[in-house]
Amino acid sequence: MFVNLIQTNLTTSVLGKIIEHTTWTESTNKDAWELIDEGTTEGTIVIAEKQTDGKGRAGRAWISVPGKSLTASLIIEPKIDSRLSGWFPLLTGIAIVKAFAELGLEVNLKWPNDIMVNNKKLGGILCESRVQGKVLEWVVIGMGLNIYEQENELAVELNATSFFMEKSSSIQRELVLAKIMNHIEPLYNQLTENKDPSQLMELWTEYCNHVNKTVKFEVENESLSGEFMGIDTDGAAIIKTNGNEKIFTSGDIHIIKS
Ligand code: BTN
């Protein structure tokens, strides 16, 4: 990927001023934490072609295909109430939906962090945070998106797809990343300035593909099915089972009925 091509397409004032590009690394999220410890500033992005220990959610591995996947981690320093931390994967998802819409691909969101096209996974987000007291000091927003992969390059069990498989057309990964950053910045500023996630809640609900659907929900050792009612003011999932609404801050959703 070409750093100057990303930067040419940025309209941000803070995000992406520093971009660290490596051909391969263990994990761009891990690199981001190292940069934070070395004193980097908010807005720095780490990108890589290949990760030897790419991290997915819930301890799963994440595989990137060199030259084809978009693999990036963004560093931010919100210094807001840690209760708002659940909003970072959701606001990133909203930004990704907006970016792909500009590029002609309609994508939607599966709670908490999956980017979907026609019920197939186009990518995922892994946010990691550092909290001190009640203050959310740093957040690393890792994103892995399938751009040019062919079917045989994607893990079958993930039920995955790529931009190329959906559109049969090419796109510069640099442009995709710049557009995502251009959309993250105003959403992030809004969250830190107003401390009010209600607009994010509205947008996320509009882009979600399973509101009011019957879902199987798995969290730790518990598995239940119920209706996905939406998200609460912390970005947590509200699921109704046997007439009772339960709140979940983590877990995996499988859509079983419209
Ligand atoms: C998921 O769907 O499980 C989340 C996948 C997140 C993968 C990205 S790739 C860039 C960043 N670095 C990592 O090690 N993981 C995230």
Specify the pLDDT at position 138.
Answer: 98
pLDDT digit string, tens, across residues 225-252: 999 999 999 999 999 998 999 999 888 8
Is the pLDDT assigned to residue 258 strictly greater than 60? no
Structure token pair of residue 129: 């945070």
For residue 60, the ligand 1 atom closest to its alpha carbon is 3
CB of 92 closer than 6 A to ligand 1?
Answer: no
Mean confidence (pLDDT) of the chain: 94
- Residue 128 in contact with residue 142, Cβ under 8 Å? yes
As a whole number of angstroms, the distance between CA 207 and CA 234 comes to 17
Q: How far is the CA of 163 from the centre of ligand 1 (A)?
A: 17
What global pTM score does this model have? Answer: 0.96
Q: Which fold has domain 214-255?
A: SH3 type barrels. (2.30.30)
Query: Which percentage of the chain shows pLDDT scores above 70?
Result: 99
For residue 48, the ligand 1 atom closest to its alpha carbon is 10
Confidence of residue 161 (pLDDT cuts 50, 70, 90): very high
- Domain borders along the chain are 3-207, 214-255
Q: Where are the beta strands (DSSP E) in 85-187?
A: 108-110, 114-117, 120-132, 135-146
CB of 126 closer than 6 A to ligand 1?
Answer: yes
Cis peptide before 112 (omega within 30 of 0): yes
Q: Which fold has domain 3-207?
A: BirA Bifunctional Protein; domain 2 (3.30.930)
Query: 5, exposed or middle or buried, with CB in 10 Å at 0-12, 13-18, 19+?
Result: middle
* Closest CA to ligand 1's atom 11: 142
Specify the pLDDT at position 158.
Answer: 75
